C-alpha cells in the first residue's frame, strides 16, 4: 500500500514538473497578459524541444503515423500518442548533429503530460486527432505563415473555402493552450471568438485567412500567437543601448522607445514589469523594436527612401493560389504542404515546388500538351538530380566513417600488439640502457680531457719558463735563483695546505699530475717533455675516438632492433 502511494505521488510530480518549472520562471510578474501568455507558451515550446521540429517535419510525422486517413473527431489513446511523439523526437535526433542531441525520453514525458493535462482534463485517456494536430502544428517551430496554411488546409473544403464550424472547432482547441498556462480569463474560448476574427459572414479564402491572422494587430483571441513567434526571433538580438530604468549597458530581445519622452528607452524586462522613472509614465505610447540600426544606417536608409531607391513600408505578403491545394482522394492531407520524402529541408522544398508545378500543369486547361510534357520532364529531371546527389552524399559519409575508424584503430595500440616479441623488447631495453651508460661515460671523458688540456697548457708554460731560467743562469751566474723563480707565472693547480710556502722547483707545481709527464720533469734533461705531452694527448684522442665508435655501433644496433620490432608488429597486424 505504501509503495503504491509512493508511485502515485511520483507520477503526479512528473505530471506537474513542467508547470512547476514554469512557475519558477516567475512569468506572473509580467504586467501585460499578451506578453505573459506568449512567454509561458514559448517556455513550454523550448522545454519540450518543439522549437527544433519544423512544421514540415511535423506534417510528415502526421502522414507517416497514418493520421491523415483518420477523421478529425476520431480519438486516439494516450499510448498511441506516446508512440507518435516518440517517432517525432527520434527523427529529430537523426537530423541533429551528435553534439546537439536531445534527451528524447524526457522530452516525450514533458510533452505527453502537458498535452494530457490540456486536452484530457476529464481523465478519459483519449484525445481527438484534430486537437493533437492543432496543438502540435501551433507549438512546433517554423514560419507562422506555413503553420496557418496547414491549419487552413484542415478547416477548408475541396474548393478552398474556409468552413466556419471547423474554424470554430480549431479556436476551441487552440485556445486551450492559454488556459493550460493559467491565462484562460484573458484568452479563453467564447462563443463570439469566431466573430471577433471574421466579423462579416462571407466567403473566406486562403489569402484572406492569412491577412486577418497575421495583421497588426491580429484578432484579440489570437494576439499571443504572432507574439510568440516574434519572441523566438528576437531572443538573441543585441541592442547596444542603455536602459533608462535599470541602467544596463545593453539589451537583449525587444527594445521599447517612448514616443513622448526624448531618448527614453526600456529593455523588455523593465517594460513588461511596468517600471518607469522620471517624467515617463506607463500611459505613454511605446514603440517596440526588434532590431538595432545605427544612426548612420538610419540616415542612409532615409536618404535612399527619399530618393526612391527603396520601397516605402513593409514588403507585401506573398499571394497564394485560391484553389485548393489538397487532392480530393487524400482527405486532409496536401501534396504541396507535406514533404514527399525524408530528405533534408532544401531537398524537400525543391520536391514540393516540383509537385506544385506538376499539379498546376495538370489542373490547367489552357496549357497545351507540350507544356505539360515539358513540366513533367523537368520534374523527373529534378528528382533524378536529387537522387544522384543523395547517393553521392551517402557514399562520401560512408568513406568518411571508414577513414575515421581506420585512424582510430591505428592510433590506439591494442594489448596484443604490446605483448608481441618479448625478447626483442627486453633486448631493446638493454641496448637503450647501454647507450645511456656510454653517453654518461663519454661526457665524463670529455670533462677529463678538458681538464688534461688545461694541465698540459700550464705544463708547457712551466717548461718554457724553466728553459728561460736556465739560459739566464748560464748568462749571469751571480743572479739569485729565488729571484728568478719568483717571477714565474701562476699555475692553474696550486697547493692549498696551511703553512706551506711557495718553492721554486717544478716538481711542486706538478701536484695532481702523474704518468709520463711527472717522470719527464723528475728526470730533467734526458727525456723530451714536449714529445711526452704530445704522446699523452694522442692517447687521449685515440681513447675518445674508440669510445665514439663504440657509441655509434650501439646506436646502429638499437635502430636495427627497433626496425625488427616494428616489422614484427606489422606482420602480426597483417596476419
The answer, yes or no, to whether residue 343 has pLDDT greater than 60, is no
User: Is the pLDDT at 504 greater than 50, yes or no?
Assistant: no
Mean pLDDT of 431-447: 84
Q: Which of 69-73, 297-301, 500-504 has the lowest mean pLDDT?
A: 500-504
Between the ranges 23-27, 377-381, 407-411, where is the mean pLDDT highest?
23-27
Closest CA to 327 of 354, 308, 355: 355
Is the torsion defined by CA of 409, 414, 420, 426 positive or negative? positive
Question: pLDDT digits over 238-286, tens only?
Answer: 999 999 999 999 999 999 999 999 989 999 999 999 999 989 998 999 9
Closest by CA position to 9, among listed 397, 1, 226, 109: 1
How does residue 39 score in pLDDT terms, banded at 50, 70 and 90? very high
* 95 has a pLDDT exceeding 50: yes
* pLDDT tier for residue 79 given thresholds of 50, 70 and 90: very high
Q: What's the confidence (pLDDT) of residue 437? A: 85
Query: Percent helix, strand, coil in the chain (nearest 5)?
Result: 65, 5, 30
Residues 6+ positions from 127 with CB-CB distance below 8 Å: 75, 76, 78, 81, 115, 116, 119, 120
Mean pLDDT computed over 117-125: 90
Per-residue pLDDT reduced to its tens digit, 549-571: 777 777 777 777 777 777 766 66
Mean pLDDT of 20-42: 93
pLDDT band at 155 (very low <50, low <70, confident <90, very high): very high
Does a cis peptide bond (omega within 30 degrees of 0) precede residue 217?
A: yes
Distance between CA atoms of 538 and 534, rounded to whole angstroms? 6
* Secondary structure (DSSP) of 253-291: S-EEEESSSTT-EEEHHHHHTT---TT--TTS-EEEESS
- pLDDT for res 295: 67
Residue 421 — pLDDT band, cuts 50, 70, 90? low
pLDDT, average across residues 360-368 = 55
Q: What is the pLDDT of residue 113?
A: 94
pLDDT, residue 299, reads 64
Q: Give the whole-angstrom CA distance, residue 98 versus residue 449.
A: 65
Helix H or strand E encompassing 233: helix 224-234
Work out the mean pLDDT of the chain and round it to a whole number: 77
- Over 80: is that where the pLDDT of 41 sits? yes
Lowest mean pLDDT among 29-43, 59-73, 215-229, 336-350: 336-350
- Any idea which residue has 675518445 for its cell? 544
Determine what percent of the chain is predicted with pLDDT higher than 90: 38
Rounded CA gap, 218 and 180, in Å?
A: 21
Render 395-425 in DSSP notation, one character per residue. HHHHHHHHHHHHHHHHHS--HHHHTS-HHHH
- Cα end-to-end distance, the chain, whole Å: 64
Which three cell numbers mark 286?
511605446
330 falls in which pLDDT band (50, 70, 90)? very low
pTM: 0.55
User: From CA 236, how far away is CA 234, in angstroms rounded?
Assistant: 5
CB atoms within 10 A of CB 451: 13
* pLDDT band of 510, cuts 50, 70, 90: very low
For 254, other C-beta atoms within 10 Å of its C-beta total 22
Q: Minimum mean pLDDT among 120-129, 317-326, 327-336, 359-368: which range?
A: 327-336
Residue 44 has pLDDT above 90, yes or no: yes
User: What pLDDT score was predicted for residue 315?
Assistant: 55
With bands split at pLDDT 50, 70 and 90, how would you rate the model's confidence at 224? very high
- Rounded-to-integer distance, Cα 136 and Cα 141, Å: 9
**Which residues does 75 contact at the CB level (< 8 Å), separation at least 6?**
126, 127, 128, 129
- Quick: pLDDT tens for 280-323: 998 999 999 988 876 666 666 666 666 555 555 555 566 666 65
Least confident segment among 208-222, 276-290, 431-445, 505-519: 505-519
Determine what percent of the chain is predicted with pLDDT higher than 70.
70
Q: pLDDT-based confidence at 227, cuts 50/70/90?
A: very high
Residue 520 has pLDDT above 70, yes or no: no
501 compared with 209, residue with greater pLDDT: 209
Compute the distance between CA of residue 140 and CA of residue 450 in angstroms, rounded to an integer.
84
51 neighbors 89 (Cβ within 8 angstroms): no
Residue 119: its pLDDT value, please? 94
pLDDT at site 296 = 65
Amino acid at each position: 500500500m505504501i509503495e503504491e502511494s509512493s508511485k502515485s505521488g511520483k507520477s503526479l510530480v512528473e505530471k506537474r514538473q513542467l508547470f512547476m518549472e514554469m512557475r519558477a520562471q516567475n512569468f506572473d510578474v509580467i504586467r501585460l497578459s499578451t506578453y505573459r501568455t506568449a512567454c509561458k507558451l514559448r517556455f513550454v515550446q523550448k522545454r519540450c524541444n518543439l522549437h527544433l521540429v519544423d512544421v514540415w517535419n511535423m506534417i510528415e510525422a502526421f502522414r507517416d503515423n497514418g493520421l491523415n486517413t483518420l477523421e478529425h473527431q476520431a480519438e486516439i489513446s494516450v499510448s498511441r500518442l506516446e508512440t507518435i511523439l516518440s517517432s517525432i523526437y527520434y527523427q529529430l535526433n537523426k537530423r541533429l548533429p551528435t553534439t546537439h542531441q536531445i534527451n528524447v525520453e524526457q522530452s516525450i514525458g514533458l510533452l505527453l503530460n502537458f498535452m494530457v493535462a490540456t486536452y484530457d482534463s476529464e481523465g478519459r485517456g483519449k484525445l481527438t486527432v484534430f486537437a493533437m494536430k492543432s496543438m502540435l502544428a501551433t507549438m512546433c517551430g517554423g514560419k507562422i505563415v506555413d503553420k496557418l496554411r496547414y491549419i487552413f488546409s484542415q478547416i477548408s473544403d475541396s474548393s478552398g473555402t474556409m468552413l466556419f464550424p471547423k474554424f470554430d472547432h480549431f479556436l476551441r482547441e487552440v485556445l486551450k493552450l492559454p488556459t493550460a498556462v493559467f491565462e484562460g480569463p484573458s484568452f479563453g474560448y467564447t462563443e463570439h471568438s469566431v466573430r471577433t476574427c471574421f466579423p462579416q459572414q462571407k466567403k473566406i479564402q486562403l489569402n484572406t485567412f492569412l491577412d486577418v491572422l497575421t495583421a497588426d494587430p491580429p484578432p484579440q483571441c489570437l494576439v499571443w500567437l504572432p507574439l510568440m513567434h516574434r519572441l523566438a526571433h528576437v531572443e538573441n538580438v543585441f541592442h547596444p543601448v542603455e536602459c533608462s530604468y535599470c541602467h544596463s549597458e545593453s539589451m537583449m530581445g525587444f527594445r521599447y522607445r517612448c514616443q513622448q519622452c526624448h531618448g527614453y528607452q526600456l529593455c523588455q524586462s523593465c517594460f513588461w514589469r511596468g517600471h518607469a522613472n522620471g517624467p515617463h509614465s506607463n500611459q505613454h505610447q511605446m514603440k517596440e523594436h526588434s532590431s538595432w540600426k545605427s544612426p548612420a544606417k538610419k540616415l542612409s536608409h532615409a536618404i535612399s527612401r527619399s530618393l526612391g531607391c527603396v520601397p516605402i513600408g513593409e514588403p507585401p505578403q506573398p499571394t497564394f493560389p485560391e484553389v485548393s491545394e489538397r487532392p480530393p482522394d487524400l482527405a486532409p492531407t496536401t501534396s504541396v504542404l507535406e514533404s514527399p520524402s525524408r530528405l533534408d529541408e532544401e531537398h524537400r522544398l525543391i520536391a514540393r515546388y516540383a509537385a506544385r508545378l506538376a499539379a498546376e500543369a495538370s489542373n490547367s486547361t489552357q496549357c497545351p500538351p507540350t507544356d505539360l510534357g515539358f513540366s513533367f520532364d523537368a520534374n523527373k529531371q529534378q528528382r533524378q538530380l536529387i537522387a544522384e546527389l543523395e547517393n553521392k552524399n551517402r557514399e562520401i559519409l560512408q568513406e568518411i566513417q571508414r577513414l575515421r575508424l581506420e585512424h582510430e584503430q591505428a592510433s590506439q595500440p591494442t594489448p596484443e600488439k604490446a605483448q608481441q616479441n618479448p625478447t626483442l623488447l627486453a633486448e631493446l631495453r638493454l641496448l637503450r640502457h647501454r647507450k645511456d651508460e656510454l653517453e654518461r661515460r663519454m661526457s665524463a671523458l670529455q670533462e677529463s680531457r678538458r681538464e688534461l688540456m688545461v694541465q698540459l697548457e700550464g705544463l708547457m708554460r712551466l717548461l718554457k719558463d724553466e728553459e728561460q731560467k736556465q739560459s739566464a743562469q748560464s748568462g749571469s751566474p751571480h743572479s739569485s735563483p729565488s729571484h728568478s723563480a719568483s717571477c714565474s707565472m701562476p699555475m692553474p693547480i696550486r697547493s692549498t695546505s696551511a703553512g706551506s710556502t711557495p718553492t721554486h722547483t717544478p716538481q711542486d707545481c706538478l701536484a695532481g699530475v702523474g704518468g709520463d709527464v711527472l717522470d719527464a720533469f723528475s728526470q730533467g734533461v734526458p727525456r723530451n717533455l714536449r714529445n711526452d705531452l704530445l704522446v699523452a694527448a694522442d692517447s687521449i684522442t685515440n681513447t675518445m675516438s674508440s669510445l665514439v665508435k663504440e657509441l655509434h655501433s650501439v646506436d646502429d644496433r638499437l635502430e636495427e632492433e627497433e626496425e625488427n620490432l616494428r616489422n614484427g608488429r606489422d606482420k602480426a597486424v597483417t596476419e
